[in-house]
A and B are shown apart, each in its own frame.
Chain A
Amino acid sequence: MAAELINPNPILHERKLTVRTKPTQRPEDLGIGGREPIDALEIFDHIRDINDPEHPYTLEQLNVVSEEMIDVDDARGRVSVQFTPTVAHCSMATLIGLSLRVKLLRSLPPRFKVDIKLSPGSHSSEAAVNKQLSDKERVAAALENPNLLAMVNKCLGAAATAMQPAGEAATAS
């Protein structure tokens, strides 16, 4: 595996301490009917701990996803996530995108429509990857493939266990 890494030496970023300090109790923060709306930070919490397919780091540590690149409209049920591969020729971009989509599929209510896109200009074949990621048929077909599903699950594996807001995981190695 170490033979042909696509990006052998990625830049690492610390896990940020953007943790919600306390549940919003002020009335102006609550939406209709006392709802705490689903916001970008919540989406980010879902996807920040997804593992990179080729490095033992999370997507947050590699700065593939960030809170600023997420748009949510809770009322209309829309989420748009843009991600940035570490290198422009990353062949894992589709896999990362697929992992994001699957994770959000499993974490969000079914009424949500999820858009996963590369951030503009971040990839050499951006259009093709975006097309592939938003093609429902192809996503469904990919998830039928047991090998691919296993890879996706491997990426998602850590995301569920590493929910604790801790900074030490980032600096461990």
Chain B
Amino acid sequence: MTRSEQFLPVVDRACSTEPDSQLSRKEACNDIVDAINERKLTIVDLAVLLAGPLTSPEKEARENGTRLLGEVVALCRAVLGEGELHTLAEYLAARLRDWPCVGAAAAACRSLLQSSGSETAGCGARLRDESGLLVLEATAEMLRSAQSFRQDDRSALLQLLLAITRGRWGALAAAAPASASASAPAPRGGPVPLLDAFLGAADGEKDPRCLMLAFEAVGALCQLHHSPGADATPLRQLADEVADWASSYFPISFNPPPSLARGPAAITRSDLATSLERCLAASPFLAGGVVPLLVEKLSSTYRPAKEDSLAALRRCCPAYGPDALAPHLGQLWQALRAEVMAPSGPGGAAALPAGGGGGGGGGGGGGSGSEADSRLALASAAAGCLTVAVRAAGPGALDAVALQDACVGDLVAAVRGAGSPTHGSLSAAAIARADGQVMCGAATLAAIAAAGHLSLRRAHTVALSQVQAALDESLTPPTEEYDSCADQTLYGMTVLAAVVDAVAAELRLAVGGGGGAAAAGDDGAAAAAAAARAWLAPSAAADGFAALAEVKASLLAALAAVHPRIHPDGVGAAAGVVQAPPSSSPGTATASDGGTAVAMVVDEAAAGQRGGCYSPAAAAQLRLAAVGAWASLLRLHGAATAAAAAAAGGGGGAAAAAALQQLALSDASLTAAAEQLCACALAAAAAVAAAGPSAASRMRWGSKADAAQEAAAALQLLLLQLTPQQLPAAAAASHGAERCTVVELLVQRLAAAMAGGGGGGDAAGLRAAATRLAVQLTQAAERQKGSAAGGVSGGEGSGGAVAFAAALLAALPRLLLLLEERQGRGADGDEEWLLDCLAQLATRVLPPLAHAPTPGPTPAPAPAHAPGPQSAAPPASGPPAAPQPPSGPPGTAVAAASVAAAAQRLVVASLAAAVEWEEAGAAGLPFRGEAEETAAEETAAGGAVGESMTHGSSALLAAWCAAVQRLTACCDDRQQLDLAMEAAERIAACSSRVAPDSASPSPSASASLPLACAVVAGLRAGVLAPHSTQALADSLLRLLAAGGGAAAATAAAVAVAAAINRWQDGASLDTWLGGAFRPALLERLGAGGGAAGATAAAAPEAAAAAAVRAVGWVGRALALRNHPALREVLEALLTCLRAAAAGSWPDGSSDAAAAGAAEEMRVDGGVGGAGAAAAGATRSPQGEEPFGGGANASAAAAAAAAADAFGVLVAEAAEAGGVALAARAPQAVCRVLWQQRTYSMCAQALDTEYQRHLQMLQHAQQQQQQGRGPRAALLPPIEMAMAVARLAGSAPRQMCRNDATRLAPLLLRSIQTLGRALRGDPEPAAAAAASASASADASQSPSPPPPLAATGSAAAAAAALRDALAVVRDWLGGPQALPSAQLEKVLTDHVEELVDGVCAAAGVGAAPPPGRQGPLAGPRPVLAATPPHPAPPVRKRPPLDASLAAAVREEALRCCAGLMDSLPYHVLHPLRQQVLGCVLRALDDNRRGVRQLAVRARRAWGDA
């Protein structure tokens, strides 16, 4: 006793009723548990110690005592003996009857029962049955009165009940009376009426948490009574009550309260609905009550009720089984039929097309469109439910009822009636009604047919065979007027396609469900898949599949017949393709059956060729139907192939596999599919291009459907399914060959379409459509990756797409370069199409291919043609990309190799073409080597046209470069080496040509040079040996130094950067930099823009800019490598900026004082610029030069280029002239943290430079004794502003955010400078007042320097400004992310600059509004008719690109709106008038987008 009494204080602590003693209670409880586990204390001792709390009159004390006992029991279960357990069970059963303790006691009982139920050995003694029964009885007793308990007590009781049903206790409780009395004579005999008790507890339950438990408990109890050896009588008796109880909750209406809305214990409506469904499906005995309920709720008008009852039926029907469902089949069918047919009924979706048939009512139909959609969704859900129900009811039950129904007869009648002569004379409404009937009937029929073999067979006998007959009949009309039968054909195809589709979906479910159900974890999906697997049962399979094969053959025949009549011009080709293969397709019986059918129909088609074809409207509808049918057939093909594979793999299913093979499409059919779909896609796209958006589709309830899109999707499906899937090796060869034909066929068709320009808008549309389609098809692989869940072909799926891409690339040279047929036709859309095609190629087709598995170290299977100028001409015709027989590697690797080969061939061809084009005089579009007449036209049309032409062709050249670079990246190492040799040769030739007579390089004509440069840029690191790199770099450098055409120089700059970046030997790179780069470029650059310009007298600005740009690119290459020489480059760039600032100085103000200031600056720079030693040294000769106009302009151009280079240095992906040097590993050598390092170096340098500028200004002011424009004086010169803006705009946002403290003053002032310069306003009022004295420095910054206006750098400045504003907006943060405290402080400190800059930017390029500002002075119609404001004469700036300027304004206004959100109001208040003024002006902007943003900004500022 003494030993146990020492625990008394601990026990007291553990039972404490103090409110906040949670922690100490827990500790004490742990102590007790430890003591018991170490046998220092027995459970009986504990009970004695607990005597006080357990017998206390206070209910809290009793409750705590019971809880402690329960916790201890749960944790010490293992050490308790059998006797102790019995005592505890007795005691806890008694506690359970004590109302205040019921929750705690229930938890304790649960732990007592649970641990004994789940484990048998090694874990203490076993609770005796009789002791368990004591607890069970007490539980049942308390459950009856549970309604009056608190929620947590009820929930604890329900959990106890669940624990009981899960363990052996459930069997005990539900045991049949006889066996129960035999094995374990319970004290009172007989099973415990848990179900009855549960109903008592659950009646009137409203708490969602308890309801979840209760629904689960019903399932568990039902399972209990259905388990073998259990007595099902109580359940049968109480089934109606259970159904009544559950149905009172159906459908669930629940809005989660805030406490339950989130968190781990959140309960949603769908949770409740799902568990209610499970509850309803728990036992077949419930069917009598539940099915009528669900049927009734299905007819409700409340949408969730419909949805829920459909979902519940899906779950319940399989669970109830045929016997339980049998009495309800009639009403079930009626209800489901009503739902499936609902869209065709009165007020259904079928009413819509009648109303808005013309397709004109976009606004009218928009409102009810979503409603119709939801109806249709409901109908399709009902159809799915019908399938499940038919299957659940067993063969011959529900399907028999359904197929005798009038709706099936009506369907057949409607299909037949459509061919009758009277059909054509029906009104539009009647036709729409018939459409609806057919669609709904088809859905019903498909749902029935999809239920299983026998249902399919039966449906075929009753209805499908008749539909087939009608379809056949419609294809051979007595007269030549096909239109009269078009509707019948349409209907027939729709019905058959619907059936095929439904079966395919079920098959796929059967195959995919096995693998996917475990991952999905949803028992509903798993059950559905298990049910669908009945399709794959080996027995009796053939019958249903044979029926489906007939359907398939019939559909194929119809498609073959219809196609030539839709596309009259494509008849010959179609017939040729279809006719050829049937003899060679061995196949199964049905395959040849289909083949003969096809052949037969082809004859008819040939006969019909001379006859008419469908009218355009009918053809459009039929085209959609045909595309849909093909898609269905392809889905069936895929599903059947997968199912056959699964059946064969599963073993023993050879018969089933053979039956399934009947359903797969034969090679001939696949070819026909490709042919027809391709034609459909192109024709539909051309129709769209010619006549606007497509009309409403009748067989889609009048919704707009784009046949081109759908055909493209179907073709993607086709390509995906072409992969050989676990076929034996022998079959693989034939399969591979077949794939080749399909792919080739597609490419041929598309190529023909792409080449077939030469006419009006139709042809251009067709070409664009073909391009788009081709691009879409190459992306089938991507699509597949996205939806890998449902796919059967997995990673292998990309094979078809890659093969297609390879074939396409092989076909492209012919198209792009027009090497074959050189008829000199001036196609209008050529340029546009080429641009589009190349852009698509570079951005969408090639990047994924570059990531595709390349053959790697094993050499590519024999590149077919040796690369070299002599064999540059592409293969004349024919498919060169014939894949090697797939011996070792799977198809994908072969395809990748052929892609590489084709890519290489295209590059070589384009290089050769470029050379040829150059030699031919470089007239017309690049590389289309034709067209004297184009050139003549150009000269005739005069200056404007000529300019636009060259602009267009330079864009084209850039597109070519981008494509070539990507193509090169696709090649493997050896091919790259070959290409590199070729390119190096070209570059060397150019440089040697340029070097001797540097006076007149022909700048515009060099097209091969950029391409060669692009090749160099596309090489992988490590392809070139160091010395070859050096040779390459040398010749590029020579080119650059000589100056050249803009495009060539840009590309060469990038190429030299790429070469430097991939230089393998660091030491030789250093030598080269010191020996070649520095003297040739860097130092000449340092010598000022004027010096560089002097050599190339023709275009000094361009030459200077080109040199600076080259240095910038080299800097990027060095930056990526973290090379120390970067600093020198940076210095050189800064020198350029400085030179321009100095250059604009005396130009802006003509008085001598300013010149003195400039002089001062130079001295200051030489002394103060600590890191600028080299720069200072090189600048000295320039200092004395008088600034001529040319030199000045070239300095400005150089500075603009230098400013741009700062962006190039840090950007993630920089691109110039189509050639890019990405900062990614495979394309470039790329050290870690290069971006951070470079950014911080640049920012530091610019900051120092700015400080120097400030010092210099102060100096000047002191000298002049009159400088008083503090705000204006702080502004950096415009070149530096551009540099800052480019730097910040190109660097990653996060970096700018972190560096805001340093960057903010500089960036904000740069924005001010740029905004004012671009706006060209004299000054905003405030600033003007401040600098009224018109000092030299005040006039410097606001007035735009002449170079800015003269050259195209205004656009560059605007772009820089836009980027800088984007950085600011990022700082300000969106509405959700406020700026950090540090950022906010920085911005608050500089708020004046910020607001001023933003306001200045908001006025960039804004044209005056049409009306006069202010009140309208009376009616002035005459004045208003003419533009009231002629452009003010003061501004002579060339107009900025309007959309660019608008982008700047939009960004500025976004910043405006963001300011109010992120900065405290008291800071902003003084600036409010200024901002509101600029926003008000923006309200009348010319651009709508700007106006909308202005409204938002005004609201933000006006409401405060």
> What is the bound-complex CA distance between A74 and B1421, given in angstroms?
12
Contact with A along B764-780 (1 / 0, CB 8 A): 00000000000000000
Q: Is the interface of B mostly helix, strand, loop or mixed?
A: helix
Interface residues in B1457-1495 (C-beta closer than 8 Å to A): 1480, 1483-1484, 1486-1489, 1491-1492, 1495
> What is the bound-complex CA distance between A36 and B1409, given in angstroms?
11
A113: chain B residues at CB < 8 Å are 1416
**Shortest Cβ distance from residue B1444 to the other chain A in the assembled complex, whole angstroms:** 13
Chain A interface: which of B330-338, B362-370, B670-678? B362-370
B1116: chain A residues at CB < 8 Å are none
Chain A interface: which of B308-316, B553-561, B1496-1504? B1496-1504
Flag if B1499 contacts A106 (CB, 8 Å).
yes
> What is the bound-complex CA distance between A75 and B1425, given in angstroms?
8
**Shortest Cβ distance from residue B303 to the other chain A in the assembled complex, whole angstroms:** 11
Contact with A along B628-666 (1 / 0, CB 8 A): 000000000000000000000000000000000000000
Contact with A along B345-369 (1 / 0, CB 8 A): 0000000000000000001001110
B1079 on the interface (CB 8 Å rule)? no
**Shortest Cβ distance from residue A87 to the other chain B in the assembled complex, whole angstroms:** 21
Flag if B1495 contacts A107 (CB, 8 Å).
yes
Flag if B1407 contacts A76 (CB, 8 Å).
no
Contact with A along B1393-1415 (1 / 0, CB 8 A): 00000000000000101111111
> What is the bound-complex CA distance between A160 and B1495, given in angstroms?
9
Q: Given A16-B366, A110-B1480, A111-B1416, decide whether A75 and B1487 contact each other with a Cβ distance below 8 A.
A: no
Flag if A23 contacts B1416 (CB, 8 Å).
no
Nearest-CB residue, chain A, relative to B1490: A36
Interface residues in B71-125 (C-beta closer than 8 Å to A): none
Q: Given A23-B1488, A36-B1487, decide whether A111 and B1411 contact each other with a Cβ distance below 8 A.
A: yes
Residue total for B at the interface (Cβ-Cβ under 8 A): 35
Q: Given A32-B1427, A109-B1483, decide whether A75 and B367 contact each other with a Cβ distance below 8 A.
A: no
Contact with A along B1403-1440 (1 / 0, CB 8 A): 00001011111111001010011010000000000000
Flag if A13 contacts B1411 (CB, 8 Å).
no
B1498: chain A residues at CB < 8 Å are 106-107
**Shortest Cβ distance from residue B1266 to the other chain A in the assembled complex, whole angstroms:** 40
A10 on the interface (CB 8 Å rule)? no
A109: chain B residues at CB < 8 Å are 1409, 1480, 1483-1484
Flag if A160 contacts B1499 (CB, 8 Å).
yes
Flag if A111 contacts B1421 (CB, 8 Å).
no
B1174 on the interface (CB 8 Å rule)? no
**Shortest Cβ distance from residue B553 to the other chain A in the assembled complex, whole angstroms:** 44
**Shortest Cβ distance from residue B1473 to the other chain A in the assembled complex, whole angstroms:** 15
Flag if B1424 contacts A75 (CB, 8 Å).
yes
**Shortest Cβ distance from residue B1477 to the other chain A in the assembled complex, whole angstroms:** 11
A110: chain B residues at CB < 8 Å are 1413-1414, 1480, 1483
A33: chain B residues at CB < 8 Å are 1407, 1427, 1486
B1483: chain A residues at CB < 8 Å are 107-110
Nearest-CB residue, chain B, relative to A16: B366
Nearest-CB residue, chain B, relative to A17: B366
Flag if A32 contacts B1410 (CB, 8 Å).
yes
Choose among A17, A35, A160 the residue that contacts B1486 (Cβ–Cβ < 8 A).
A35
> What is the bound-complex CA distance between A31 and B1411, given in angstroms?
13
> What is the bound-complex CA distance between A14 and B488, given in angstroms?
37
B368: chain A residues at CB < 8 Å are 14
Choose among A16, A76, A106, A111 the residue that contacts B1495 (Cβ–Cβ < 8 A).
A106
Nearest-CB residue, chain B, relative to A108: B1483
Flag if B1486 contacts A77 (CB, 8 Å).
no
Choose among A23, A42, A108, A160 the residue that contacts B1496 (Cβ–Cβ < 8 A).
A160
Flag if A111 contacts B1413 (CB, 8 Å).
yes
Contact-residue size bin, chain A (C-beta under 8 Å from the other chain): 20 to 34
Nearest-CB residue, chain B, relative to A111: B1411
A95: chain B residues at CB < 8 Å are none
**Shortest Cβ distance from residue B926 to the other chain A in the assembled complex, whole angstroms:** 27
B1442 on the interface (CB 8 Å rule)? yes
A34: chain B residues at CB < 8 Å are 1407, 1442, 1486
Nearest-CB residue, chain A, relative to B1420: A76
Nearest-CB residue, chain A, relative to B1483: A109
**Shortest Cβ distance from residue A31 to the other chain B in the assembled complex, whole angstroms:** 7
Flag if B1484 contacts A111 (CB, 8 Å).
yes
Contact with B along A11-25 (1 / 0, CB 8 A): 001101110100100
Choose among B1411, B1413, B1484, B1489 the residue that contacts A23 (Cβ–Cβ < 8 A).
B1489
> What is the bound-complex CA distance between A38 and B1494, given in angstroms?
14
> What is the bound-complex CA distance between A111 and B1485, given in angstroms?
12
**Shortest Cβ distance from residue B866 to the other chain A in the assembled complex, whole angstroms:** 49
**Shortest Cβ distance from residue A138 to the other chain B in the assembled complex, whole angstroms:** 20
Interface residues in A75-97 (C-beta closer than 8 Å to B): 75-77
Q: Given A23-B1488, A113-B1416, decide whether A13 and B1410 contact each other with a Cβ distance below 8 A.
A: no
**Shortest Cβ distance from residue A159 to the other chain B in the assembled complex, whole angstroms:** 9
Q: Given A18-B363, A31-B1410, A76-B1416, decide whether A106 and B1502 contact each other with a Cβ distance below 8 A.
A: yes
A154: chain B residues at CB < 8 Å are none
Flag if B1488 contacts A36 (CB, 8 Å).
yes
> What is the bound-complex CA distance between A16 and B768, given in angstroms?
32
Nearest-CB residue, chain A, relative to B1499: A160
B1503: chain A residues at CB < 8 Å are 153
Choose among A17, A42, A153 the residue that contacts B1488 (Cβ–Cβ < 8 A).
A42
Interface residues in A117-173 (C-beta closer than 8 Å to B): 153, 160, 163, 167, 171
> What is the bound-complex CA distance between A38 and B1484, given in angstroms?
9
Flag if A77 contacts B1411 (CB, 8 Å).
yes
**Shortest Cβ distance from residue B1375 to the other chain A in the assembled complex, whole angstroms:** 10
> What is the bound-complex CA distance between A46 and B1496, given in angstroms?
11
Flag if A171 contacts B370 (CB, 8 Å).
yes
Interface residues in B820-849 (C-beta closer than 8 Å to A): none
B1416: chain A residues at CB < 8 Å are 76-77, 111, 113
A160: chain B residues at CB < 8 Å are 1496, 1499
> What is the bound-complex CA distance between A55 and B1487, given in angstroms?
35
Flag if B1414 contacts A111 (CB, 8 Å).
yes
> What is the bound-complex CA distance between A110 and B1482, given in angstroms?
11
> What is the bound-complex CA distance between A74 and B1483, given in angstroms?
13
Q: Which of B368, B1410, B1503 has the most CB of A within 10 A?
A: B1410
Nearest-CB residue, chain B, relative to A109: B1484
**Shortest Cβ distance from residue A47 to the other chain B in the assembled complex, whole angstroms:** 12
A18: chain B residues at CB < 8 Å are 363, 366
Q: Given A32-B1427, A111-B1484, decide whether A75 and B1491 contact each other with a Cβ distance below 8 A.
A: no
Choose among A23, A76, A171 the residue that contacts B1421 (Cβ–Cβ < 8 A).
A76
**Shortest Cβ distance from residue A46 to the other chain B in the assembled complex, whole angstroms:** 7
Q: Which of A14, A111, A160 has the most CB of B within 10 A?
A: A111
A45: chain B residues at CB < 8 Å are 1492
Choose among A13, A32, A38, A106 the residue that contacts B367 (Cβ–Cβ < 8 A).
A13
B1410: chain A residues at CB < 8 Å are 31-32, 35, 74-75
**Shortest Cβ distance from residue A11 to the other chain B in the assembled complex, whole angstroms:** 12
Flag if A46 contacts B1495 (CB, 8 Å).
yes
Nearest-CB residue, chain B, relative to A20: B1488
Q: Given A33-B1427, A106-B1498, A106-B1499, decide whether A75 and B363 contact each other with a Cβ distance below 8 A.
A: no
**Shortest Cβ distance from residue B1411 to the other chain A in the assembled complex, whole angstroms:** 4
> What is the bound-complex CA distance between A38 and B1487, given in angstroms?
9
**Shortest Cβ distance from residue B446 to the other chain A in the assembled complex, whole angstroms:** 30
Give 5 closest A-B pairs by Cβ, nearest first. Answer: A109-B1484, A35-B1486, A14-B367, A111-B1411, A109-B1483
25 contacts between A and B (CB under 8 A): A13-B367, A16-B367, A17-B366, A23-B1488, A23-B1489, A32-B1410, A32-B1427, A35-B1407, A35-B1410, A36-B1486, A74-B1410, A75-B1410, A76-B1421, A77-B1411, A106-B1495, A106-B1499, A106-B1502, A107-B1483, A109-B1409, A109-B1483, A109-B1484, A111-B1412, A111-B1484, A153-B1503, A160-B1496
Identify 4 new A-B residue pairs, CB closer than 8 A, beyond the known A34-B1407, A109-B1484: A23-B1488, A34-B1442, A75-B1411, A109-B1483
